[in-house]
Structure 1
């Protein structure tokens, strides 16, 4: 098998530095830019740090920005194990400690936003504020209308199935993953170059195996816990901004609401005309709204 570090050329972005950190034996790739108070960026599936290439330069004007390739993604190691919630959250906790960041602001997308929310629940001492993108607040209480979402998220099951998921991600025309990168999107979609970059990383069998394990051990179990209301009575102790495109299935989940209304210090914004990949489509809006939110919360307004 080829070395996964060498299978795809690293995309270039001016003004950033790259380094690999040994986090309890996991070699994690991080990208850094700017200076000041830290902002940590966590990507979604099937993306990697490059998801943030439009956001990083904008935030780096005010902050020390750290974009990380999470376990199994991008240019971080892809071991066979460790794709459960506890391990994925612990990866980020140990990374924060390794970088000596103290309390951080976090912007997270898709499954990265689930990791970030669990981190905020478990270790609020490490989180200054959190921006959740394209993912519902874990505290929503789904109702029977959730059944209408099943035809829109059918791909979760084959991707999570051992063997089938690896084949779908790595081999053939990678049709399911290609579909994911265009699903629920405005007509323009993602750029062909970006889609090619994400697909190329998944052609490495180890990364395809990691992606399937991620769905099987983390994404689907987290979804089932949300449906069961397991998080509903564990409020955040940190301020949270949720931003979702109106065409994203997560928006339907978010609209189902909360047991006792919108929690204190939690804010929700739905972006008209947008889909799941709002970081790619509107990096200007994501960066500006996040910076405004961080500034407002710091000033106690």
Structure 2
């Protein structure tokens, strides 16, 4: 009789499970529908069918995002396992490798060098993972993450401004041109990211505290643009230590400039993230744990 009762239980439709997972990962019905090549109304209907099936509300709509209820969190964990098993069955029967795409966002100064080496090692360990890496300003990367366009991001932010999976303090370096120094100019020319960009307010506040006049001499949304402008003598700037070039000279206490340590590197991914997203996040956490080169 017990076996008969179990056989009469309704079966979960994997298509419905895939739909609710996509909504939870994207935090948006609209974005989920786009990624599923469907319509928002169709995806909403599938989520409602699941809720009717289990007899619980699975998703809550907030002011800015969508999050899973307690019942939804339990379902999402099992749903991810069921879909993974489904993929494994196809892989076992077809002999094909199931490709998992992880969309990663990193700041421009992390798009090469040590980060590339770390990503290459990860890819050798997990050849079934396809990495789609986007680089840009941290505020743009976070916006893309919030829209569900990225699965995992490494960004710069003011310390503790937003809860993250992991973080590490980032101490910055004041730089000037080695060949055409400009710190002695009056007013001091500044090379900065655009308005609302990182470090700009900290540069201004530091100079005003010193009693120095300043002017914005050059702005760029590109780190390479900032590096080049400073090297060519257009002004001083604040950058991460890894962005200091041989054509730069590092300024500091000798020039009366303060240590700027109000920022951190932070990693974000969703609680319902795919196992490969979590695995890559752990690799990035390990990379951040490596002691950074401190500015002089």
TM-score (normalizing by structure 2): 0.28
Higher strand share: 2
Instruction: Please tell me whether Structure 1 or Structure 2 has the larger radius of gyration of its CA atoms.
Output: 2
TM-score (normalizing by structure 1): 0.27
